[in-house]
Chain A
Amino acid sequence: MTRVVNVPSHFDARSFEQFAKACGDMTDDRLLFDAHATQWASPFGLVGLLAAGQWAAEHGPERPLLTVPGDRDVAHYWGRAGFFAHAADWYELHGKVPRVTPATSSDVLLAITPVRGTDDVHGVVESVQERSAAILSGELGLEATATMGFAMALSEACQNIVEHAGTSGWVAVQAYHWRRRLGRRVVVIAVADAGIGFRRSLEATQASRFGDRWSDATALEAALFQGASRFRDPGRGQGLGGIARYLNRWSGKLAVRSGAARISIVPSWDDDQPLTEGLTPFPGSQVLMIVPAQEAQ
């Protein structure tokens, strides 16, 4: 039996919960991810869709299906963002896949890129630095040193996949003008995997500290605020805290979703909840980082 999962027409971090709910348990039926009517997808939506595809392909009865967006411009954008190049690994694609190369437009700072190991992290950091420097300092008004912090945050987020997910993942970086929500330019980093998630990663070293309270939410809190790590090495577990410090300094946003919980560092311009529990479980971890243009003093 095939079950249809509708991809939201405007697929981003806000509509991700609608998507996760539609995915539900991805192990019983063959899934058809229907993106035919999708009008727009953020990098967070696209890497999340890849994670869903991987999970369904690896744990479901058959390789899932995906209908390509019907709107030619939308499909071309997904192609330029590098989505189809990776989607073909996990989905049986239906519809017209545009023949475009993943690209290097001024806004796509990093097309969707797989993160499988240390070499990929080096590659991501190398390729994003020069392109992001012009946007971060030129267009967003950040100090020149912020470019290095941005690359550090990107590096640590990618390493979380390599070190903790137990599988590969994806990263994408893009610049936008958020006219309606913020009225400013932003740079967005989206990272996703379909791995074991924070709770399972930290369980062996942290669960006993929390007893009955151990959950996806407490695992996220421990990782973000207490620097908890699955390794007993005291030097471990600093990456996520470092990302949070960087984003705090530049009034940015950090949101980490894992399992059935999502934790956020919420800047003044956003209305997200700091912690949300009881979400529909979704495999792996998904990280969203947003750096906004600085307000004129």
Chain B
Amino acid sequence: MQLIDLKAILQHTVSSAYGDLVTRPTGKAVRDGIEAALDDLDTEPVTVIDFSTVRLLDYSCADEIVGKLLLEQGGARVFLLQGVTASHCEAIEPVLRRHKLAAIARDREGRVRMLGAVPEDARKALSALTDRVQPGSPADNDALVLPEGTAKELLQLLRFSGPRDPDPADRHSAGAAE
């Protein structure tokens, strides 16, 4: 798994004086930096984009870094957004929706959420599934009862958001059985 520290990329590619991911040119420079890093380690199956050290992300930067990166590389690589805050999600969410993209993000408390163009019940089902692995979290069984089409859509999204399953049909049946 390859970890991309966004603040390190920002300071390496733009300026060590900057601490925030704002403005479109900054976002583009950071995306170029990410792509250069991906070229160096192109055998890694999963790339984690780490927001843990990022304070502020605006819409323009979110579009350049997340939107365009997923548009250009999302078909060939698996990305996970890590260390996101609520305000990062506010910037990323509309960007993904606008591009009709979805992404899986893990916040700083370890909670996993789905961002972007995802049906609401699929979003809730993922939250219910991931909450089950959090000790002490109440299980929301109702959220796991999905129409077949939605379940398929969610599984398809998950299949493209994590390491490839050798037999997607098995995963489908396991997830949809709830």
Contact = CB atoms under 8 A, between A and B. Distances in A.
Interface string A238-258: 110110010000000000000
Contacts of B24: 159, 163
A156 B59 contact: yes
Interface residues of B, number: 29
Nearest to B26: A118
A28 interface: no
Interface stretch (A77-85, A96-104, A144-152): A144-152
A91 to B, nearest CB: 30
Interface size, A (range): 20 to 34
Contacts of B94: 238, 241-242, 245
Contact of A145 (B55, B60, B87): B87
Contacts of A162: 23
A238 B95 CA distance: 8
A72 interface: no
Given A122-B23, A155-B23, A227 B85 contact: no
A234 to B, nearest CB: 7
Nearest to B88: A148
Contacts of A121: 22-23
A241 to B, nearest CB: 7
A129 B26 CA distance: 18
Interface in B46-105: 55-60, 63-64, 67-68, 85-87, 90-91, 94-95, 98-99
B20 interface: yes
A270 interface: no
B59 A242 contact: yes
A227 B26 contact: no
Given A151-B56, A159-B60, A238-B94, A125 B20 contact: yes
B19 interface: yes
Which applies to chain B's interface (DSSP): helix, strand, loop or mixed? Answer: helix
Nearest to A147: B87
B23 A152 contact: no
B25 interface: yes
A155 B67 contact: no
A125 B22 contact: yes
B120 to A, nearest CB: 18
A247 to B, nearest CB: 13
24 contacts: A118-B25, A118-B26, A125-B20, A126-B19, A145-B86, A149-B87, A151-B20, A152-B59, A152-B87, A152-B91, A155-B58, A156-B59, A156-B60, A159-B22, A159-B24, A159-B60, A234-B98, A235-B95, A235-B98, A238-B59, A238-B60, A238-B94, A242-B90, A242-B94
Interface of B: 15, 17-20, 22-26, 55-60, 63-64, 67-68, 85-87, 90-91, 94-95, 98-99
Per CB-CB distance, the 7 closest pairs between chain A and chain B, nearest first, are A148-B87, A235-B63, A155-B22, A155-B58, A152-B58, A238-B59, A242-B59
Interface of A: 118, 121-122, 125-126, 129, 145, 148-149, 151-152, 155-156, 159, 162-163, 227, 234-236, 238-239, 241-242, 245
